[in-house]
Amino acid sequence: MPTLATRRAPAPQASIGGYEDALSELFADLAELFGNPRSYGSIYGLLFASESPRTMDEIVEALGISKGSASMGLRQLEEFGAVVRDRTSTAPSRYTARLEMRLLIGGFLRGRVIPRISSTGETIRSIRHQLEEDGAPRTALQRIDRLDRWHKKARTILPLIEKLLSGP
């Protein structure tokens, strides 16, 4: 599988300029790196490069994706705080990328990382309980204790980072 450095962007489609295509591919790679669908990154990259807001139909046409993918991607990107929908008009909604990195990181932390970190506590407790019931070696319990400490630190620091990023 090619790396980010060696992967070549696909040939630009007629409806996407080279600049928009390159940014769509760049953000698709980044989305994939962080466990998100590539389409989310492509949508964000297109909107990031766009000088004016785009409708969902324009996004679908420019990227060659389905309306379902575009709708799901736009909804998730809105939840992350990465895009904003103009709701002032009765015409089809138009979307714009938010350009502040702190908003992107904060939204990602809030939407994906913090909920996953929070849910791992129960998994760790369950593993510990099973190890204790099975009479596991002391080293296994020590490793679980270490993992539990990592988990507690992450649960403490991630909300602080998110709060820092969402500051004034």
Q: Which residue type, as a one-letter code, is found at position 118? A: S
Rounded to whole angstroms, the Cα distance separating 114 from 38 reads 21
Rounded to whole angstroms, the Cα distance separating 38 from 128 reads 36
* Residue extents of the structural domains in the chain: 18-97, 101-165
Burial status of residue 154 (CB atoms within 10 A of its CB: 0-12, 13-18, 19 or more):
middle
Q: What is the CATH number of domain 18-97?
A: 1.10.10.10
pLDDT bin (cut points 50, 70, 90) of residue 7 is very low
Please write the tens of the pLDDT for every residue from 147-163.
Answer: 999 999 888 887 787 77
Reported pTM:
0.67
Please write the tens of the pLDDT for every residue from 63-117.
Answer: 999 999 999 999 999 988 899 998 776 678 999 999 887 777 777 777 777 788 8
